[in-house]
Structures are given as structure tokens and as C-alpha cells.
Amino acid sequence: MEIINDKESSGGTESTTTTKPTPESNHMRGFYTFVGILMVVVGFVWLGSNYNFLSPQFIDTFFSWQMIVVGFGLWMLCSRQWLAGGVIMALGVGLLVADFYHIYISFERLILPVALMASGVATIIIKGRKQ
């Protein structure tokens, strides 16, 4: 937040202008927070992999498409999009758990319909808040 004080020469009055953070600046702050956290986590995993502290199964799980879904959910949470980020994060964690326990989940039969329903619920909730 920035406060600017200007004194006018005619009357000596002060005018105070207060600027508020814009949604774009909040979005960028969330983006930078996410990128910083991602760099630290990937660095730790890389270091652990180089010195054999982490098992190959963990490395395969960490660099999987399910983790991309989790990462996207984390990015949305860092951008303060709580509902959508939470839903996407939960979906990614569920997919990771299913992969870890070798549970087959059909993408077309289960994931797409559930994603469509979750998007519909999120749209209803978001539109309800704005009205």
C-alpha cells in the first residue's frame, strides 16, 4: 500500500491518495510464491536423488502426470483461488493414491465426468457469491 502526500501551494491543504493492491498484483505474488516453493522442492528432490536418499519409486511418483495436477492445484491455492485449487489438489492427490496402490481408474469413464461435475459445482458457487 502506498500513501502519497502532496501539499498545494495555495492553501497548504494536504491531499492523501491511497492505492490498493490490484488483483493482478495479488496474482503475481501468488505466482512468485508458487515458483519459489516449486524450485525449493525440486532442488530437495534432485539432491536426494543424487545422493540416493530417495527411492526410485518416489522419484517416479514425484515426476509423474499426477504431480502436474497437484502442482496446478497448488498454484491455484497460491493465487488465492481456494475452491478451484482445493478441488484440483484433491483430484491430484486422489490420482496419486490410486497410482501408488495400483488401482486402475478409467479416465473417460470416471475422471472426465467427475471433473465436469466439479466444474459445474464450482461455477454455481462462484456465480452465487458474485450475485
- Domain span including residue 40: 24-130
**In b/e form, how buried is each residue of 66-84, taking b as 16+ CB within 10 angstroms?**
bbebbbbbbbbbbbebeeb
For residue 8, what is the DSSP state?
Answer: -
The pTM is what?
0.57
Model confidence pLDDT, tens digit, residues 8-31: 445 555 555 555 666 566 667 777
Is residue 126 a part of any domain in this protein?
A: yes
**Cβ proximity of 1 and 18 under 8 Å:** yes
In a domain, 110, yes or no: yes
In the predicted model, what is the mean pLDDT of the chain?
A: 77
Is the residue at 19 inside a domain?
A: no
Distance, in Å, from the CA atom of 20 to the CA atom of 73, rounded to the nearest integer, reads: 27
Indicate the pLDDT class of residue 83, thresholds 50, 70 and 90: confident
Q: Using only the alpha carbons of the chain, give its radius of gyration.
A: 22
- C-alpha 79/C-alpha 31 separation (Å) is 6
pLDDT of residue 40: 92
Could you give the number of structural domains in the chain?
A: 1
